[in-house]
């Protein structure tokens, strides 16, 4: 279960997600595939990965649905 407030994950979990996203992003971009991998590895909703990407101004690339 993810501890969260109205803004999403909180505390150490939030910092862990932020660090993982920063480390996985290349040139300010994160592939959709990598976002899914992080979601599984960190056991958080994909929406949380997206929320953190938005906060860090990291864009999703190579969307598997063709959205980005």
DSSP E strand stretches across the chain: 4-5, 8-9, 29-31, 59-61
Q: What is the pTM of this model?
A: 0.79
Backbone angles phi, psi at 26, to 5 degrees: -125, 120
What tens digit of pLDDT does each residue of 15-43 get? 999 999 999 999 999 999 999 999 999 99
């Amino acid at each position: 279960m993810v501890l969260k407030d109205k803004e999403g994950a909180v505390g150490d979990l939030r910092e862990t997600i932020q660090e993982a996203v920063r480390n996985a992003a290349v040139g300010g971009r994160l592939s959709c595939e990598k976002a899914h991998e992080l979601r599984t590895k960190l056991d958080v909703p994909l929406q949380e990965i997206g929320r953190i990407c938005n906060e860090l101004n990291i864009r999703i690339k190579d969307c598997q649905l063709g959205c980005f």
